[in-house]
Amino acid sequence: MQEQKKLKLYDVIVLGGGASGLMFLNHISKKKNTALVETNERVAKKLKISGGGKCNLTNTQVAVENFDGDATLVSQALHSFSQEKLLNFLDRNRVPLELRKNRYYFCENSSDEIIDVLKKGMKRVDVHLNHAITSVEKEGNNFIVQTDKSTLYAKKIVVATGGKSFKSLGASEIGVDIAKSFDMQVKEFTPALVGLTLQKEQSWMRELSGLSAYVHIKVGERTLKEEMLFAHKGISGPAVLSASLYWKKGTLSIDFLPTKNILSLTNNSKKLVSSVMPLAKRLSKALLNAVDVKDKECKKLSKEEKEKLQLLHHYSFAPAGNFGFTKAEVSRGGVLASELNVKTLESQKVSGLYFIGEVVDVTGELGGYNFQWAFSSAYLCAKSMK
């Protein structure tokens, strides 16, 4: 009689070979019999192109306030793997870093420097590349992972399949689909860290395509202080990308001269208003037009015109929308924190099912916060797994 082949039961299967999945593999006990499933022909495709190919890995200042998500969960993850611990990990593994603008930590030469380190976690792991996960089910105490090419079995599953943006790099909604199939609550993904499109009234901004300026953008309670870029499709650049995280609908307000006071600048001068504004000439002129003030000698400004000029410190408007998932650096939304044990990232409803990284409803501001979250949540999960 032909002997039946015994099915392999893994201790853990990690779904998704991106930032969080690979960091998890670096910290899970080597005694565990582990597998990784990844749809692409190689791991870490998003890491590879992130931060212009150099990955902004973290920031000098990392606090709960830099994240849109459940404060207790974020705080637990940051506590278990802070930016200092991440910097130590990078140092121990000889990843050379470059500090930009005194704030942002990037790989010095290429994202390959962090990818090569993270890939060390794949030693002794069964790696299934080119396998697209289609579903996860639970039978008794064990999970069955269905891919387009195979069926795999495990005692525990770590969903690290990321968000929905940049489909071209393998992104999918499988993580939230898996959660939903287990009756877990999710917030649908929406594009975040993304440029904003404009209404007709702000079409003048499009004509400034290519120019950038340091601004303060106020959205709700937050003020984002960074460069803004005028783009052909709308507005972009670091300040706008971060603002997009907090903008849902309604207005935002831009201070185009955050370090100056327009009334002091224009006080009694014989110079033209546009020439005392410390901005590119083309931008100054367009701004004057937008607030309906003629470019003239500062001395000749009327009281009413001076009032209008003050609008440059709080130019308010409602964006039309955003550039969408093809351009968004991250997806806001995902598995609700209330569904997870904040100390382990295990599902409260389904024992043995864990979620880490962008698939969880936590999104960081621009500046290395999303990798910090991916790494911190992965570490917390790996270290808590018995």
Ligand X SMILES: Cc1cc2nc3c(=O)[nH]c(=O)nc-3n(C[C@H](O)[C@H](O)[C@H](O)COP(=O)(O)OP(=O)(O)OC[C@H]3O[C@@H](n4cnc5c(N)ncnc54)[C@H](O)[C@@H]3O)c2cc1C
Which positions lie near ligand X, rule CB under 6 A? 16-21, 37-40, 45-47, 49-51, 55-56, 132-133, 160-162, 165-166, 170-172, 174, 329-330, 357-359, 368-371, 374
C-alpha to C-alpha distance for 263 and 210, rounded to whole angstroms: 28
Cβ-based nearer residue to ligand X, 301 or 366? 366
Question: Minimal distance in Å, beta carbon 54 to ligand X?
Answer: 8
The region, left, alpha or beta by phi > 0 then psi within -120 to 50, assigned to residue 162 is left
Amino acid at 358: E
Cβ-based nearer residue to ligand X, 165 or 322? 165
CA distances from 194 to 62, 235, 270 (A): 21, 9, 42
**Using the 8-state DSSP alphabet, how is residue 260 labeled?**
S
C-alpha to C-alpha distance for 89 and 83, rounded to whole angstroms: 10
Cβ-based nearer residue to ligand X, 128 or 262? 128
C-alpha to C-alpha distance for 115 and 27, rounded to whole angstroms: 15
C-alpha to C-alpha distance for 238 and 195, rounded to whole angstroms: 9
Cβ-based nearer residue to ligand X, 93 or 172? 172
User: Which residues fall within 8 angstroms of residue 234, CB to CB, at 6 or more apart?
Assistant: 195, 196, 197, 198, 205, 206, 319, 320, 323
Question: Minimal distance in Å, beta carbon 339 to ligand X?
Answer: 17
Cβ-based nearer residue to ligand X, 145 or 208? 145
Question: Minimal distance in Å, beta carbon 256 to ligand X?
Answer: 26
C-alpha to C-alpha distance for 155 and 295, rounded to whole angstroms: 71
Question: Minimal distance in Å, beta carbon 127 to ligand X?
Answer: 12
Cβ-based nearer residue to ligand X, 107 or 254? 107
Cβ-based nearer residue to ligand X, 55 or 309? 55
Question: Minimal distance in Å, beta carbon 194 to ligand X?
Answer: 10
Question: Minimal distance in Å, beta carbon 255 to ligand X?
Answer: 26
**Using the 8-state DSSP alphabet, how is residue 365 labeled?**
P
Question: Minimal distance in Å, beta carbon 112 to ligand X?
Answer: 14
C-alpha to C-alpha distance for 264 and 279, rounded to whole angstroms: 15
